[in-house]
Structure 1
Amino acid sequence: MVGELRVLTALDVAKTQWYHFTAIVIAGMGFFTDAYDLFCISLVTKLLGRLYYTEPGAPKPGTLPPRVQASVTGVALCGTLAGQLFFGWLGDKLGRKRVYGLTLVLMVVCSLASGLSFGSTPKGVLATLCFFRFWLGFGIGGDYPLSATIMSEYANKKTRGAFIAAVFAMQGFGILAGGVVALIVSYAYDQKYNLPTYEQNPEASIVPSFDYVWRIILMFGAIPAALTYYWRMKMPETARYTALVAKNAKQAASDMSKVLQVELEAEEEKVQKLTQEKSHRYGLFSKEFLRRHGLHLVGTTTTWFLLDIAFYSQNLFQKDIFSAIGWIPPAQTMNAIHEVYKISRAQTLIALCSTVPGYWFTVFLIDYMGRFAIQLMGFFFMTVFMFALAIPYDHWTKKANRIGFVVIYSLTFFFANFGPNSTTFVVPAEIFPARLRSTCHGISAAAGKAGAIVGAFGFLYAAQSKDPKKTDAGYPTGIGIKNSLIVLGVINFFGMLFTLLVPESKGKSLEELSGENDRSADADAEPEVSATTSRV
C-alpha cells in the first residue's frame, strides 16, 4: 500500500525543517512575480490612455477605449488560462521539475519584452504589448499547478495547508511590490518635471519621456523571476511523482534522503506492485475517476471560477471604483505622472492593510480551522460587504462617507484572501491522485482564470455609462458600478453554495485524500474521501 512506502511516510511525519522554508521561497517567488505581472498593468492603463489617446484641446485627458482597456488588462489572463491547462498536463507527463524552469524563463523573457513593446502608431504599440502579455500569462499559468503540486508533495500532513498557502501568500507581496515600484518611479518623475495639471496646461501636463514610466514598471517583474531560476533547477523532483508516477523507487529514496537528511530504503517491489494495481490505473474523466473525484473537481472548478470573477474585478478596476466615488481626484486636476502616483498610492494602501494580512491569516489558521470553514466564511463576508457597498451606494459617494466605503471595500479583499482566494489554490493540490494532481489543479485554476476573464471584461462593460449624450459614455460610472457590486455579491453567494462540494483535507495524507492507499485493490472499493463525509 502507498501508506506503507517509507519515503512517503517520512515526508508525512517530517518535522518542519529548513528545506520546507526553502521550498516556500523558491515556489513563492514565482507567485510574487505572477501577481506583480498580472496586476501592475492596472497601475499604468490611465497613463497609456493619456500618452496615446489624448486629443489636442480635449476637456479631459484621453483614456483607453473600453475594448482596448479590456484587451490590455485581460489578454494576460487568457494566456494564463491556456498555460494552466497545458503546463498542468505537462507536469504530470514529464515531471514537476522538468517543466518548472521553462515557465520561469517564459516569464522573464516576456516581462522584458512587454516593456520593449514597439510600433509606429499607438495601436501598434498596444497590439505588441498585448502579444507579449499573452505569452507572459502563458508562463504564469504554468506556475499555478506546478508550484501548488510541488509544495503539497514536499510538505508534511500536519502543516501542509500552511505551506501551500504560504507559497500563494507571496502573491500579496507581489501586488504590494507593484504598487511600491510604481510609487517610486512616478514620484521620481513627478519631482523631476513638476508639471502643471491638465486643466492648467493640457499640452505641458505630459512629456514624451513619460513613455518610459510604464515600461520600467512592467519590466521590473523580470528581476525576481530571474533570481529564482538557479534554485528552481537545483530542487529534486518530488518523491511522490518519482515513486508513484515515474515508478523509480531508488531515485525517490535517494532524493528524499538528501532532503530529509535520513537514510531511506528503496522499496522497488512495493512501488511496482502498487502501480500495477487496477484501482490505481484509472484515467482522467474515466468512469472510476468521476465516481471517486467527479464532485470534487466540480467543486474546485466552480468555486475558483466564481471567486475569480469577483477578485479580479476588484483588483483590476479598483482605480475606476475609487475615481467614481471621488477618492482619486478627477484626471484633469492632475498631470499624467501624478495620476499614476495617486493610483499607486491607493492600491498600495489596500494591499498593505487588507490584501497581505488576509493571505497570512490563512497561512496561520488553515491547519487549525480547516479549508472548508475558511472558504465558507470568506465567501459569506464577501457577499455581505458587497451588498453593504452596493445597496446604499449613493450614501458612500458623499465626501464625508468615502473613508467608510474604502474600509468596507478593503474588508472584501481581506476576506477574499482569508478565504476562497487562498483555499481554492490549496485544496486541488491535495485531493487528487499523484499522476493526475497537476492536471486537475491546472483545470481548476483554468476555471478560475475563465472567471477572471469574465471579471475583467464583464465588469468594464457592466460598469459603463450607456448614455451617448454623456461625456463619460462607455466608461465606468456610479450607477454602473453599483449594479456591478450587486452582481458580484450574488456571485459570492453562489460561491458559498458550491463550497459544499469541496472536501475537507486537513490532517490527512495526500494518499488518504486521493484514495491511493485504499486497503482493497478492487476498483469498486469506496474511496477514502467523499464530498459528504470528509467534513464530518
Structure 2
Amino acid sequence: MSAASPAFTPEQQYKALQGPLDSAFFSSQVLIHQTPRQDIVVDKPVFNTSVFCHRDNLDTMSAPAAAATTSGGNAAFHNFNNDFAHIQDPNERRRLALAEIDKAPFGWYHVRACVVAGIGFFTDSYDIFAINFVTAMLGVVFFQNKKSKGTIPTTADTAIKVATSGGTVIGQLGFGYLADVVGRKRMYGLELIIIIFATLAQALSSPSPAISIVGLIIFWRVLMGIGIGGDYPLSSVITSEFATTKWRGAMMNAVFAMQGIGQFTAAIIALIVTAGFKESLLTGSKASTCQGVCQLAVDKMWRVIIGFGAVPGCIALYYRLTIPETPRYTFDVARDVEKAGNDVDAYMKGKSEGHPDEIRRVTTMVQSSAALEIPKASFKDFCHHYGQWKYGKVLLGTAGSWFFLDVAYYGLSLNNSIILSAIGYSGGSSMYEVFYKTAVGNLILVCAGAIPGYWVSVATIDTLGRKPIQIMGFAVLTILFIVIGFAYNKLSGHALLALYVLAQFFFNFGPNSTTFVVPGECFPTRYRSTSHGFSAASGKVGAIIAQVVFGPLRTRGAVAGATGRAASPWLNHVMEIFALFMLCGLFTSFLIPETKRKTLEELAGEVPGTPNYDPRHGAHNTEQKNYRTGSDDISDNVEAGAGTEKVV
C-alpha cells in the first residue's frame, strides 16, 4: 500500500461501495480486472476491508466470508482460502487455481499419478502381448486331432486376437464418453475391474460339448478389450490434467511407455513357466506328439501366463479407486468452483481430495455456475466446436494419424516368425525348445527396438516437441517400409532383422507415443476424454484391418506346409502398402498442433490472444456480467475517492 494513501472513515468506505451490484460481491477482499494473459493486475482498495466487511458495520452482506484463513507467511505456506477463496469471479479463481497445477514443481504426487496410470497400461500391454504365446499352447491342448495336429487353425488364431481389438474399440468410445459425462474418477478403476475379472475368467475357461474353448476365449477377450479400451482415454486425460505444463509430455509418455515393460514381462513369464515345466515338455518332440504329461504341462502354462495379467491390476486397483477427481473436470464440467479449488490445494499436498465447507460450497456453486465463461457440454456445442475447421482439423489429425499408424504397427508383427527364424529362434527338437526359443526371441526383439524407442521418446518429447517427433517417425518408417518391400527378396536374414529393429524403434520414438499424448492435451476439458477415445478407436479399427485383411493377404499363393519366407509370398507387397499408410500418416500429422510447453487452456482456445482462441468464451453468458463489469464499476467508485494500488 502506498504510504501517501489517505485514511477513510467507515462512512466514506460505505459510500464508495454504493453501486448497482448485489451485496454478495462486496464480501470480496480484492477487486479483479480480467486480463487476457497470466500477468493479471489486481486492484486493491487502500482502505482496510476488514472494517467494512465486519458484520457490525455491514449486516446486509450475504456472501460467505473467507474461512480458515491464515495470517502472515502466506508466501511460504500457501492456504487455499487466503489465495483464492476471497475472489468472487469464478473465472479468475479457476485461472489462478489451474495455474498452481501448471507451474508446480515436479513432485511425488506427479510420480504417483504416473505409476497408478502406468500400471494399467502395463497390464493392458501384457494381456495383449501374452496371447501371442498362448495361441500356440491352445493348439497343443485343444486341437490334438488328425486335421490340426496340435496347431490352432489360422481362423481361430485371428479371431482370438481380433476379439481384443474389437472390444477395445467399444471401450475407448464408451468410457471416453462416460468420463466426460459422469467424471474421470467415477470411471477410473471400473475399467480395471473389468480387465481383472475377464483375465481371471480366461485363465479358468474350459470347453464343453456346448461351447468350444475358442468361443469362450473370444467372449472373455472382448470383455477384457472393453476394459483395456477404457484405460486409453482415462489414463491419458487424468495424467494430462494433473501434470505440470513443463513435464506433461514426459509424464504422459512414461505412462504409455509401460507398454514396453508389459511386453517384456509377458516374454519373461513365458520363459519362466517354460523352464518350470521343462521335464514334461521334453517328452514331446513336436506339437502333434505333445500328449499326456506334456499336454497337461502346456495346459497349466497358458493358464498361468494369462492369469498373471491380473496381478498388477489388483495392486493398482485401490489407488485408482481413491484417486481424486481432476480439478479441471470439477471446474469446467461439474462447475463446482469451491470443490475444485480445495482439490487443487489437497493435490499439491499429496492428499486424495479437498473437503470444503458444504454450505459455502453450495452457495458458491449456485452463484458461480452460470457465470463461468466455459460453455456447458452439449451435443449442440460439440457440433459447433468441431464444426469450426481450426478445431475439427485437430480431431481429424489425431484420429487419422492413429489409424494409419496402427495398420502398419500391428501389421509389422506379421514379420515376427520370419525375424525369429532369421536369428535362429524358431522351431526346435522338443516342445521345450520351441517355447524357449519363442520367449527368448521375443525378448530380444522387445529389448532391441521397442523399449529403447519408448524411453528415448520420454526423454525428448518435452524438448523436441510432439509434432516433430511424430513427423520424423512417419517419414523414417515410410522409408524403412519401402526398403523392406522392394528389396525383400534380396535382403539377408540379418539385414531384415536390422530393419525390423529400426522400425520398432521409430514406431515408439515416433507416432506410437505421440498419437497417445497429443489427444490428451489439445482438446477442451469438456470433450477431452471423448475426443481421445474417438482418436484411439480409429487406431484400433486400423489394427483390425491389419489383422483381418493383411494377415491373409500376405499368405496369398503360399504352398501348404511352407515355412519361413515361402509361407508369406505376398509379404513384400504388404510392406509396400504399409509404406503408403505411413506416408498418409505423415500428411495428417500436419493437422495437429504443437502442444509442447503450452497449458491445456491455451490449446483448448480459452486464452485470449492465442491462435486457437474461441471468442465464445469471452462472450459467454453476458447477462452474468455482474462479476466483471461490476468490478469495473466498483473500482471506479473506489478510485474516485481513494485511489488504488497495483498488485501484480
* TM exceeding 0.5: yes
1:21-100 aligned within 5 A: 21-56=111-146, 61-100=149-188
**Number of the residue aligned with 2:507:** 416
**Number of the residue aligned with 1:516:** 606
> Which range is displaced more, 275-284 or 347-356?
275-284
**Number of the residue aligned with 2:549:** 458
**Number of the residue aligned with 2:8:** none
TM-aligned CA deviation for residue 488 of structure 1 = 1.4
TM-aligned CA deviation for residue 244 of structure 1 = 1.0
**Number of the residue aligned with 2:259:** 171
TM-aligned CA deviation for residue 257 of structure 1 = 0.7
Inter-partner Cα distance in structure 2 for 1:385 and 1:486: 10
* 1:65-96, Cα deviation, whole Å (9 max, x unpaired): 22211101110110000000000000001110
- Change in Cα spacing, 1:5 to 1:200, as seen in structure 2 (3 Å) is closer
**Is the 1:47–1:337 contact (alpha carbons within 8 Å) kept by the matching residues of 2?**
no
1:335-350 aligned within 5 A: 335-350=430-445
TM-aligned CA deviation for residue 261 of structure 1 = 2.9
TM-aligned CA deviation for residue 430 of structure 1 = 0.6
Inter-partner Cα distance in structure 2 for 1:144 and 1:525: 32
> Which range is displaced more, 476-485 or 401-410?
476-485
Identical columns (%): 34
- Change in Cα spacing, 1:278 to 1:457, as seen in structure 2 (3 Å) is closer
TM-aligned CA deviation for residue 289 of structure 1 = 2.5
1:421-460 aligned within 5 A: 421-460=512-551
Larger Rg: 2
TM-aligned CA deviation for residue 525 of structure 1 = 8.5
**Number of the residue aligned with 2:338:** 250
**Number of the residue aligned with 1:312:** 410
**Number of the residue aligned with 1:301:** 399
Aligned residue for 2:189, secondary structure, equals helix
Inter-partner Cα distance in structure 2 for 1:521 and 1:421: 30
TM-aligned CA deviation for residue 421 of structure 1 = 0.4
**Is the 1:52–1:122 contact (alpha carbons within 8 Å) kept by the matching residues of 2?**
no
TM-aligned CA deviation for residue 314 of structure 1 = 2.4
* 1:413-457, Cα deviation, whole Å (9 max, x unpaired): 110000000000000111111010000000000001111111122
Inter-partner Cα distance in structure 2 for 1:476 and 1:98: 52
CA RMSD of aligned residues (A): 2.9
**Number of the residue aligned with 1:241:** 329
> Which range is displaced more, 378-387 or 166-175?
378-387
Inter-partner Cα distance in structure 2 for 1:476 and 1:446: 34
**Number of the residue aligned with 1:533:** none
**Is the 1:205–1:336 contact (alpha carbons within 8 Å) kept by the matching residues of 2?**
no
Structure 2 counterpart of 1:360, from 455, 458, 471: 455
Aligned residue for 2:496, secondary structure, equals helix
**Number of the residue aligned with 1:117:** 205
* 1:390-429, Cα deviation, whole Å (9 max, x unpaired): 2222233xxxx32232122011111000000000000011
- TM-score (norm: length of structure 1): 0.89
1:272 matched to 2:369? The reply is yes
TM-aligned CA deviation for residue 113 of structure 1 = 0.7
TM-aligned CA deviation for residue 125 of structure 1 = 0.8
Structure 1 counterpart of 2:476, from 381, 391, 402: 381
* 1:367-406, Cα deviation, whole Å (9 max, x unpaired): 111100000111111122222222222233xxxx322321
1:131-170 aligned within 5 A: 131-170=219-258
Inter-partner Cα distance in structure 2 for 1:181 and 1:234: 30
Gaps of 5+ in 2: 1-33, 35-90, 620-648
* 1:235-275, Cα deviation, whole Å (9 max, x unpaired): 11100001111111111111111221399999869953553
Aligned residue for 1:415, secondary structure, equals helix
TM-aligned CA deviation for residue 476 of structure 1 = 8.1
**Is the 2:205–2:213 contact (alpha carbons within 8 Å) kept by the matching residues of 1?**
yes
Inter-partner Cα distance in structure 2 for 1:297 and 1:215: 40
**Is the 2:606–2:617 contact (alpha carbons within 8 Å) kept by the matching residues of 1?**
no
* 1:210-234, Cα deviation, whole Å (9 max, x unpaired): 1111111111100000100111122
User: Residue type matched to 1:134 in 2?
Assistant: V
Inter-partner Cα distance in structure 2 for 1:268 and 1:13: 26
Aligned residue for 2:588, secondary structure, equals helix
> Which range is displaced more, 259-268 or 184-193?
259-268
**Is the 2:277–2:297 contact (alpha carbons within 8 Å) kept by the matching residues of 1?**
no
TM-aligned CA deviation for residue 123 of structure 1 = 6.6
